[in-house]
Amino acid sequence: MTEASTTDFLDIGDEALYFDETAVAGTESLIAEASVLYGEADAEAKLLRAYFLAPEQLSVLVALYRYYFYQHRLEDTLIVAGRALAASANRLEMPADWRGLSPATVAQAGARNMGLLRFYLLALKGTTVVLLRLGRIVEARERLEKLLSLDDKDHLGAAALLAVVKEAQAESLLRPTLTLVAA
């Protein structure tokens, strides 16, 4: 059992959050235009243009993630979430793979920028929701268990989601025909 972190993920202080960062020229207007065009093919084109201008700008990645998520394009959503995780891990000087996180690496990252660390961990939690909707329960459970090993106070709310996953897995053992279906 990994020793949990005593890092307080709710204490982000007065650090700038991802949406407070200076945007690359043109990306804010492209995101705004995409929101007006939501549901039309041009909306995605605007977001992709913003992505090409600023592939590691978190506000662009969040906009693209939301677009794909609400369009039920879950595989695309997962790709964008992976890019957001990679960009924020790089800035925080954390391992590229979430499996390499430990309470010590998380504490060091929190000392660098708690707001960005919280973004990273919530993005990791967000991938579990997407994985669950895709029926990839084992992968989602691994990520939730990692989050709980890093957050002993469960500020990120992974415990309740993990309980649902465990219950669904237990029921599927009793009823092999049970499948988790996204609404």
Supply the DSSP string of 44-79, one letter for each residue: HHHHHHHHHH-TT-HHHHHHHHHHHHHTT-HHHHHH
How much is the pTM? Answer: 0.82
Rounded-to-integer distance, Cα 137 and Cα 115, Å: 28
State yes or no: pLDDT of 99 exceeds 60.
Answer: yes
> Options 1.10.10.10, 1.25.40.10, 3.50.50.60, 3.40.50.450; which CATH number does 18-174 get?
1.25.40.10
pLDDT level of residue 25 (50, 70, 90 thresholds): confident
Rounded-to-integer distance, Cα 95 and Cα 64, Å: 24
State yes or no: pLDDT of 19 exceeds 70.
Answer: no
Report yes or no: 58 and 87 within 8 Å, Cβ to Cβ.
yes
Q: Using alpha carbons, select from 94, 82, 128, 132 the residue that is nearest to residue 7.
A: 94
* pLDDT reported for residue 171: 79
First vs last C-alpha separation in the chain = 34
Q: What is the pLDDT of residues 111-148, one digit of tens each?
A: 999 999 999 999 999 999 999 999 999 999 999 999 99
pLDDT level of residue 5 (50, 70, 90 thresholds): very low
